[in-house]
């Protein structure tokens, strides 16, 4: 009798994952910027639907789009739009990439809250970060050396900043390179001459977001695309999402999913 | 039966030591396997001697000289701070303190070694760095000096406890001979005891070097992370372990950047390997004396 129970128990243990996987599995890969959103949404979704199994991997935007083209994943995350070359490739493979915008990502340029500067132009910001302007007095502030504080060049935040502000110029070699949004916020808050940039969700009292080209970074100006240092985050699917994938994307876009988006430091889609 | 037990015990310990060696060679093999493909893209000479580190730029630069120099600066700075503190406390504990004072002091210094490095890092970032800005009037507190101080404090227990071991193994008759010749306690310590334990002290410094050069969390948080050769100790640097830790999570597996991070790991491994070899050399020399 005990033997039979053991055998049944073992068979159930083997059978459950095998059957649960069948048809109830979503695979996601791609952008490390979208990764925290995908991961947190997947966890909540799996809590709500214990029979669904979602596996989320990083790899970068290019990997996300390449995986959708190759058909190896259900959802490919990307923090940029698909390139025309990739689109042709996809069409040749019989794949029709469909872009689902799941979040807005806005980057605020911040200074110490005691700094008298409250606005810069995009050009001035570029000159500061590339080391051309090295003192606050050159942009109308007090005579104080500028301490440039950047994110590590592999981070998604740097990627946006690079494409919108630096336009692929190099950050000055003397700039501090910190590993997280929080580290940048803390350091700018402690450094009177500091300037840095962080996702809008990471603002703290010790720092002041700058008005860029006359526009204050807020949820509204980022959603309306007036503010220049912003982008949308995407989950690509093959064609209009269907079935389980559609249910998951709908969840990400629901008020619950968008609350998770905000929790991760991004801005919801309106 | 006893013989069987003995053999079993022998083979268990033999297998354990075999596994240690296996793990070591596995790790060495994997860093070389992942690191060497880099040199299909970059010449070894350019990798080691170029100062520009722009791994994600288009086109990328993979020069790590500024990272190597950053590592050496903070490590040497740490040793300059840790040697007098560590050796001083070792001399006090071993030669001067009463047995009771020794019982209290020794565990306190060893407690320093038990603090997790992330706690040191937090301390440096939130307390030491703002203090540096105020005290020295410098633009940023995340720099070589701050990182050296924190690393130095972390290395003190290594230098202190190993040096103390070395000092206490100096034979009593050497001290007595010194006193008999009319030397006082101070002269005995400086001219007899310390020179007699020179190799032990040197090996403690080399072990401290190995600890400091590989330390990651503290320098990631406190050294500032600027890939430049600093012109003074109040400038930020980007030591090698911090570079690997900050960039590995975000890089595409199999890309030149990925291999370059393993390339840094090879350089770091060779440096620590060398420091261990030197330590062994000092210890062996002491034995043969």
Q: What is the pLDDT of residue A203?
A: 87
Would A124 be classed as within a structural domain?
A: yes
Q: Is B54 an interface residue toward A (CB < 8 Å)? A: yes
Residues of A in contact with B54 (CB under 8 A): 153, 170
**Residue pair B225/B246 in contact by the 8 Å Cβ criterion:** yes
Would A23 be classed as within a structural domain?
A: yes
Residue among A59, A155, A170 minimizing CB distance to B54: A170
Percent of chain A with pLDDT over 70: 91
Q: What is the mean pLDDT of residues B126-155?
A: 93
Closest Cα in chain A, distance from residue B38 (Å) = 18
Same domain as B134, residue B15: no
Q: What secondary structure letter does DSSP report for B95?
A: I
Same domain as A46, residue A19: yes
Q: What confidence tens digit (pLDDT) does each residue in A162-190 have?
A: 888 998 888 998 899 988 888 899 999 99
Same domain as A248, residue A201: no
Residue A135 has pLDDT above 90, yes or no: yes
Q: What is the mean pLDDT of residues A122-150?
A: 94
Q: What is the pLDDT of residue A10?
A: 64
Q: Is B220 an interface residue toward A (CB < 8 Å)? A: yes
Percent of chain B with pLDDT over 90: 70
Q: What is the pLDDT of residue B288?
A: 65
Q: What is the mean pLDDT of residues A214-218?
A: 92
Would A147 be classed as within a structural domain?
A: yes
Q: What is the pLDDT of residue A16?
A: 53
Residue A22 has pLDDT above 60, yes or no: no
Asked if A145 and B226 come within 8 Å (Cβ–Cβ), the reply is no
The count of structural domains within chain B is 2
Cα distance between residue A53 and residue A48, in whole Å: 11
Same domain as B87, residue B17: no
SS (H, E, C) chain A: CHHHHHHHHHHHHHHHHHHHHCCCEEEEEECCCCHHHHHHHHHHHHHHCCCCEEEEEEECHHHHHHHHHHCCCCEEEECCCCCHHHHHHHHHCCCCEEEEEEEEEEEEEEEECCCCCCEECHHHHHHHHCCCCCEHHHHCCCCCECEEEEECCCCHHHHHHHHHHHCCCCCCCCCEEECCHHHHHHHHHHCCCEEEEEEHHHCCCCEEECEECCECCCHHHHHCCCCCCEEEEEEEEECCCCHHHHHHHHHHHCHHHHHHHHHCCCECCC
**Residue to test with chain B: of A34, A190, A194, most B Cβ within 10 A:** A190
Cα distance between residue A136 and residue B263, in whole Å: 39
Q: Tell me what the pLDDT averaged over chain A comes to.
A: 88
Cα distance between residue A182 and residue A199, in whole Å: 10
Q: Is A141 an interface residue toward B (CB < 8 Å)? A: no
How does residue A2 score in pLDDT terms, banded at 50, 70 and 90?
A: low
Structural domain harbouring B24? 2-40
Q: Is B130 an interface residue toward A (CB < 8 Å)? A: yes
Residue A158 has pLDDT above 90, yes or no: no
Q: Which residue of B has its CA nearest to A35?
A: B250
Q: What is the mean pLDDT of residues B136-145?
A: 92
Residue A61 has pLDDT above 90, yes or no: no
CATH code for the domain of A160:
3.40.190.10
Structural domain harbouring A37? 2-103+233-263
Q: What is the pLDDT of residue A20?
A: 47
Q: What is the pLDDT of residue A180?
A: 83
Note the pTM of the prediction, 2 decimals. Answer: 0.79
Q: What secondary structure letter does DSSP report for B65?
A: H
The count of structural domains within chain A is 2
Asked if A147 and B139 come within 8 Å (Cβ–Cβ), the reply is yes
Tokens 């500028």 — which residue? A146
């Amino acid at each position: 009798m005990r033997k039979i129970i053991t055998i049944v128990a073992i068979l159930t243990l083997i059978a459950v994952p095998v059957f649960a996987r069948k048809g109830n599995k979503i695979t996601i890969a791609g952008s490390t910027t979208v990764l925290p959103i995908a991961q947190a949404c997947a966890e909540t979704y799996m809590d709500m639907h214990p029979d669904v199994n979602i596996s989320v991997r990083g790899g970068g935007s290019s990997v996300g789009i390449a995986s959708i083209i190759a058909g190896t994943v259900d959802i490919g995350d990307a923090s940029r739009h698909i390139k025309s070359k990739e689109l042709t490739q996809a069409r040749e493979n019989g794949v029709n990439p469909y872009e689902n915008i799941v979040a807005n990502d806005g980057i605020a340029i911040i200074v110490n809250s005691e700094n008298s500067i409250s606005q810069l132009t995009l050009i001035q910001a570029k000159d500061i970060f590339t080391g051309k302007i090295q003192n606050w007095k050159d942009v109308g502030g007090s005579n104080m050396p500028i301490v440039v504080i950047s994110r590590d060049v592999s981070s998604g935040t740097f990627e946006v900043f690079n494409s919108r502000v630096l336009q692929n110029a190099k950050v000055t070699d003397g700039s501090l390179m910190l590993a997280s949004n929080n580290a940048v916020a803390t350091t700018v808050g402690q450094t009177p001459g500091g300037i840095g940039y962080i996702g809008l969700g990471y603002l703290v009292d010790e720092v002041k977001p700058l008005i860029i080209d006359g526009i204050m970074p807020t949820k509204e100006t980022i959603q309306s695309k007036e503010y220049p240092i912003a982008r949308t985050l995407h989950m690509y699917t093959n064609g209009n999402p269907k079935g389980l994938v559609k249910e998951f994307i709908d969840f990400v876009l629901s008020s619950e999913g968008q609350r998770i988006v905000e929790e991760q430091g991004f801005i919801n889609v309106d | 039966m006893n013989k069987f037990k003995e053999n079993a015990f022998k083979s268990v310990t033999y297998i354990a030591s075999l596994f240690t060696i296996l793990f070591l060679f596995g790790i060495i093999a994997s860093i070389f396997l992942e690191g060497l493909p880099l040199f299909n893209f970059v010449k070894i000479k350019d990798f080691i001697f170029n100062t520009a580190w722009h791994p994600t730029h288009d086109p990328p630069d993979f020069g790590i000289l500024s990272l190597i120099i950053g590592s050496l600066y903070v490590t040497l700075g740490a040793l300059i701070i840790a040697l007098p503190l560590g050796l001083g406390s070792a001399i006090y504990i071993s030669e001067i303190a009463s047995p009771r004072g020794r019982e209290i002091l020794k565990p306190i210094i060893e407690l320093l070694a038990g603090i997790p490095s992330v706690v040191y890092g937090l301390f440096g970032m939130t307390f030491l760095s703002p203090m540096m800005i105020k005290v020295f009037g410098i633009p940023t507190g995340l720099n070589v000096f701050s990182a050296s101080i924190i690393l130095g404090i972390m290395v003190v227990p290594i230098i202190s406890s190993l040096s103390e071991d070395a000092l206490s193994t100096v034979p009593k008759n050497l001290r007595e001979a010194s006193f008999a010749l009319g030397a006082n306690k101070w002269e005995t310590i400086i001219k007899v005891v310390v020179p007699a334990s020179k190799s032990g002290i040197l090996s403690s410094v080399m072990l401290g070097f190995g600890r400091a050069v590989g330390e990651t969390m503290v320098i990631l948080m406190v050294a500032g992370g600027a890939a430049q050769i600093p012109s003074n100790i109040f400038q930020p640097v980007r030591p090698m372990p911090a570079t690997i830790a900050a960039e590995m999570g975000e890089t595409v597996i199999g890309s030149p950047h990925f291999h370059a991070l393993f390339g840094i790991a090879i350089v770091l491994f060779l440096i620590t390997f060398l420091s261990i070899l030197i330590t062994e050399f000092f210890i062996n020399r002491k034995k043969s004396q």
